């Protein structure tokens, strides 16, 4: 029989009983609690083949997610890190039989959207009695006009680098293959005995990669809704995992917080994705804590990681290949192609990165990442062909942010650039030119942007200028815009 994530999780929900599985806010939740919450939601959602989830890294969300995998019910993720208006727009577009969210996300805008879409609005809470943890806010929905594709397990959110975040279908075959590939890590006895400490957002591919294998292999999960250095270090000290994953910005935050070495004594490696740790920070962290930082690279469209370091590779090559996210992962091929002709390039040349992963099928998938591969097979990234800003691992296309600002009636034009940030690598900032007689101040435009963009896309600063700097061709000069924020 082929590897089956759904069957594995179904067995654990049915037979896990009172064994601890999810830890959050000081207490454990059992497999029995998870199964009962899923049953409570199922009683309200009926036999809906697909539901939407306004995803948060909380135990009730993980329980619902586990139950949906066990039932082979598609979960379409909705970003919680956006305005109520943004969530409402997603609900209307999806038109699913049911939308599940925390009570805090059920506000008049989202409730009205569910009513318009014909979707049941279901609230889930973290209550000790799981039978009371799910409640129906609107009558059972009639959405879901088309039959759900039985080959699709999830619809995940991309980072939104080319516009609004896309829902990328993740097939069961991909999810099964990716989880089976993780068996050599999560199936090992030394990993099973210690929990997975998870700070990743549940709604994107990183969160899925860190929650599905523990659910399938019976490894306990400690959930932290957001990263804060001291609470994270306390969790490491208490639960003693052997490996964790962090975004690049968190490495500097741990150093800056002065976390004692002994708090992290159980760790043998820290995986980092979504960007590169600054070389000086990398060196200082490893020198101080003695814990290797193992970079990796992946994307939603790849179904996860396509290049990474292993401990053995790092011992041999780590110092010589600093800055690389490693070599091609197991069952993955990488190549670099010319930006114009898409023909494969020689070793060392910079072009567009393409990947072919067995879990995604036989085709090469092209990225907008500029990259090179050296003679030893190590990948190096050189920015984005689309000029995207990498904000702590989240990719932002400047034109998407500028278009949101241009939509304001007082704005004649806007330019968005990335500026260096010590913690996040880069952050977006915006220069705005107003229409003659236009009345708007930076605070008003920031509020406008927050209503229309995902939280990480919102500029950290909006500056109103008399005229945007332009070159001889009257195109906006990005270097001169950046100089405004020097």
CB atoms within 10 A of CB 141: 24
What span, in angstroms and rounded, lies between the C-alpha atoms of 354 and 337?
7
Instruction: State the Cα–Cα distance between residues 305 and 403, nearest whole angstrom.
Output: 31
The stretches of 407-477 forming alpha helices (DSSP H) are 442-452
Provide the 3-class DSSP secondary structure of residue 213: helix
pLDDT of residue 400: 87
Q: Give the pair of three-digit tokens for residue 272.
A: 């980092």
pLDDT tens-digit profile, the chain (486 residues): 488 999 999 999 999 999 999 999 999 999 999 999 999 999 999 889 999 999 999 999 999 999 999 999 999 999 898 889 989 999 999 999 999 999 999 999 999 999 999 999 999 999 999 989 999 999 888 776 556 788 999 998 665 443 455 678 899 998 998 888 776 554 444 456 789 999 988 988 888 888 999 999 999 999 999 899 999 999 999 999 999 999 888 898 899 899 999 999 999 999 998 778 878 889 999 999 999 999 999 877 777 889 999 889 999 999 899 989 999 998 899 999 999 999 999 999 999 999 998 888 889 999 888 899 999 999 999 877 777 888 987 888 888 899 899 999 999 889 999 999 888 889 999 999 998 888 899 999 999 999 999 999 999 999 999 999 887 656 788 889 999 998
| pLDDT at residue 187, as a whole number | 46
Q: Residue 333 carries which DSSP code?
A: E
**Helices 5-15 and 172-181 meet at what angle, rounded to 10?**
70
Domain 389-484 has CATH 3.90.950.20: no
Domain boundaries, the chain: 5-171, 179-384, 389-484
What global pTM score does this model have? 0.80
SS3 120: strand
Six-digit token pair at 2?
């082929």
* H helix intervals, 267-350: 279-289, 311-317
Contact 391, 455 (CB under 8 A): no
Position 87 scores a pLDDT of 94
Among residues 387, 448, 346, the alpha carbon closest in space to that of 85 is found at: 448
Q: Which residues of 88-105 are buried (b: 16+ CB within 10 A; e: fewer)?
A: bbbbeebbbbbbbbbeeb
5-171: CATH topology: Rossmann fold (3.40.50)
Q: If you ran DSSP here, which 8-state letter would residue 149 be given? A: P
The whole-number pLDDT of residue 132 equals: 93
Cα 294 off chain centre by: 18
DSSP 8-state assignment for residue 344: B
Same fold across 179-384 and 389-484: no
The topology under which CATH files domain 179-384 is: Rossmann fold (3.40.50)
pLDDT of residue 146: 53
Given this model, what pLDDT does residue 168 score? 83
Q: Are strands 98-101 and 134-136 parallel, antiparallel or unpaired?
A: unpaired
């Amino acid at each position: 029989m082929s590897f089956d994530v759904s069957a594995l999780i179904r067995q654990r929900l049915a037979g896990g009983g009172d064994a601890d599985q999810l830890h959050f806010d000081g207490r454990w939740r059992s497999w029995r609690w998870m199964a009962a919450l899923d049953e409570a939601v199922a009683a309200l959602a009926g036999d809906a083949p697909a539901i939407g989830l306004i995803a948060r890294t909380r135990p009730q969300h993980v329980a619902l997610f586990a139950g949906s995998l066990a039932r082979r019910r598609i979960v379409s993720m909705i970003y919680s890190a956006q305005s109520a208006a943004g969530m409402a727009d997603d609900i209307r577009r999806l038109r699913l039989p049911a939308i599940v969210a925390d009570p805090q996300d059920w506000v008049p805008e989202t409730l009205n959207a569910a009513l318009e879409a014909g979707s049941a609005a279901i609230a889930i809470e973290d209550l000790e009695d799981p039978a009371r943890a799910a409640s129906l806010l609107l009558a059972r929905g009639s959405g879901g006009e088309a039959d759900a594709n039985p080959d699709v397990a999830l619809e995940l959110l991309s980072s939104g680098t080319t516009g609004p975040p896309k829902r990328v279908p993740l097939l069961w075959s991909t999810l099964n293959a990716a989880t089976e590939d993780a068996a050599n890590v999560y199936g090992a006895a030394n990993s099973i005995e210690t929990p997975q400490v998870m700070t990743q957002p549940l709604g994107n591919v990183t969160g899925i990669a860190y929650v599905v294998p523990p659910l399938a292999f019976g490894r306990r999960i400690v959930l932290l809704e957001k990263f804060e250095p001291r609470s994270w270090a306390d969790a490491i000290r208490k639960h003693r995992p052997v490996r964790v994953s962090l975004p690049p910005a968190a490495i500097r935050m741990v150093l800056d917080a002065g976390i004692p070495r002994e708090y992290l004594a159980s760790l043998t490696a820290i995986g980092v994705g979504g960007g590169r740790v600054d070389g000086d920070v990398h060196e200082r962290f490893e020198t101080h804590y003695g814990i290797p930082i193992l970079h990796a690279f992946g994307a939603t469209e790849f179904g996860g990681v396509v290049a990474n370091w292993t401990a053995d590779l790092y011992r041999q090559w780590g110092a010589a290949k600093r800055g690389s996210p490693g070599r091609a992962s197991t069952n993955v091929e990488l190549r670099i192609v010319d930006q114009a002709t898409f023909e494969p390039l020689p070793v060392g040349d910079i072009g567009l990165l393409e990947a072919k992963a067995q879990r995604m099928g036989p085709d090469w998938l092209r990225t907008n990442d500029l990259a090179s591969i050296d003679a030893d097979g190590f990948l190096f990234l050189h920015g984005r062909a689309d000029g995207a800003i990498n904000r702590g691992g989240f990719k932002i296309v400047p034109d998407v942010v500028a278009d949101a600002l241009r939509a304001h009636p007082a704005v004649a034009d806007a330019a968005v650039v990335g500026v260096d940030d010590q913690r996040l690598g880069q952050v977006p900032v915006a220069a705005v030119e107003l229409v003659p007689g236009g009345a708007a101040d930076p605070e008003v435009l920031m509020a406008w942007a927050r209503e229309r963009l995902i939280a990480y896309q919102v500029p950290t600063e909006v500056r109103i200028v008399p005229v945007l700097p332009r070159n001889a061709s009257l195109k906006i000069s990005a270097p001169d815009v950046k100089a405004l924020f020097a």
